[in-house]
Amino acid sequence: MWRIRFHGRGGQGMKTASRILGTTFFLAGYEVQDSPRYGAERRGAPMTAYVRAGREPIFERGIITHPDLIVVADRSLLSLPLAGVFQGLTKDTVLLILTEDTEQNLHIPAATVKAVLALPLSLTTDGAMSRTRESSACAAAAAALLSLPLPLLLQSLQEELHKTASELLQQNLTGAKAAYERMFKHQNLVRQSSVNPEAGYEPPHWIDLQFEDAHHSAPAIHGEATSLLVKTGAWRSMRPVIDIARCNRCGLCHTFCPDGVISLSNEGVPEIDYDHCKGCMICKVQCPMHAIDVQTEHGGTE
């Protein structure tokens, strides 16, 4: 059975990527299971998605502990323990990362993994008219590594993105082809791991859970101003940027911001606290002067 784990941030489309890959497998005649898993259902929060595919009915479910292939859409997740990118990594695992960096610059110890592959970010954007399309590029790269036929991948993309505007769909197909071709030379690198039932198992370290004082065994944390300490700006995948020249000082962005991170100067000039702005873009929608632009956190413009 193939086991693939995707890591991304909410809004980056890794659930979609897992579905594109799942459907490609399904079209190729495999039994398939794909599922996303997220804690807080919000943009920017780390999330994972799983794909299993095999020739027999699949009984496994949920978390994939030892993936054959890990796909990471956001490099910043590598240094975030909560994201669990390196969980269950073995010397049989291939790690595919969407990044502008070279493999060497990622500083992942070679001994811990079978191979690290960098998928250039430039494949997911298209010059000035850039649109992010990480999901199709990541799915396509994975499909190439798993030797799935390109025509089935493109058919799957059309099925999964059938509600997408035709121009954007075309860009996705072009990007996917480029990502597929880029990775195709590595097509025999990823291997299906097999469970050897006779090998025995490491017993789980079960313990007898003991009573603990209610003062610290109740699910309550009392803390002051923790919302200031946590840099929720790290959740952002899109950045609102105010063009002060066009701003008419109406203050609507300040009023509507659900996180209260847009302050007004004495003269009524708005300023965004990027440490805490989550990039929800409500300010952009509300601005009557259309003075708020959107940039991706990768540097492109939406």
Backbone angles phi, psi at 111, to 5 degrees: -70, -20
240: its two tokens: 């609102």
Shortest approach of other proteins to residue 212 CB, angstroms? 8
Look up residue 54 and give its DSSP letter. Answer: E
> Could you tell me how far CA 198 lies from the centroid of its own chain?
36
Note whether 63 binds other proteins by CB under 8 A.
yes
Spatial contact of 262 and 270, defined as CB atoms under 8 Å apart: yes
DSSP string, 41-76: -STTSEEEEEEEEESS-----S--SS-SEEEES-GG
Count of residues that bind other proteins according to CB under 8 A: 40
Look up residue 43 and give its DSSP letter. Answer: T
- How many other C-beta atoms lie within 10 A of the C-beta of residue 214? 7
Note whether 60 binds other proteins by CB under 8 A.
yes
Note whether 36 binds other proteins by CB under 8 A.
yes
Q: Which of 223, 265, 288, 290 is in the footprint of other proteins by CB under 8 A?
A: 223
Spatial contact of 50 and 37, defined as CB atoms under 8 Å apart: yes
Residue type, 76: S
Residue type, 284: K
Q: Which of 166, 188, 226, 265 is in the footprint of other proteins by CB under 8 A?
A: 226
Q: Where are the alpha helices (DSSP H) in 86-149?
A: 134-145
Q: Which of 55, 107, 162, 205 is in the footprint of other proteins by CB under 8 A?
A: 205
Note whether 201 binds other proteins by CB under 8 A.
yes
Nearer to other proteins, 41 or 267 (CB): 41
Q: Which of 8, 17, 21, 34 is in the footprint of other proteins by CB under 8 A?
A: 34
* H/E element, 31: strand 31-38
Shortest approach of other proteins to residue 169 CB, angstroms? 20
Note whether 227 binds other proteins by CB under 8 A.
no
> Could you tell me how far CA 93 lies from the centroid of its own chain?
19
> For residues 294 and 236, what is the distance between their CA atoms, to the nearest angstrom?
12
Note whether 55 binds other proteins by CB under 8 A.
no
Note whether 59 binds other proteins by CB under 8 A.
yes
Q: Which of 194, 216, 265, 290 is in the footprint of other proteins by CB under 8 A?
A: 216
Shortest approach of other proteins to residue 9 CB, angstroms? 18
> For residues 253 and 287, what is the distance between their CA atoms, to the nearest angstrom?
6
Contacts of 217 (CB under 8 A, 6+ apart): 211
Contacts of 212 (CB under 8 A, 6+ apart): none
Shortest approach of other proteins to residue 156 CB, angstroms? 10
Q: Which of 79, 109, 127, 203 is in the footprint of other proteins by CB under 8 A?
A: 203
Note whether 211 binds other proteins by CB under 8 A.
no
Candidate segments 3-11, 102-110, 191-199, 293-301, binder of other proteins by CB under 8 A = 191-199
Nearer to other proteins, 127 or 204 (CB): 204
Residues between 105 and 164 with contacts to other proteins, criterion CB under 8 A: none
The site for other proteins (CB under 8 A) is made up of: 19, 22-23, 26, 31-37, 39, 41, 58-63, 65, 195, 197-198, 200-207, 209, 216, 219-224, 226
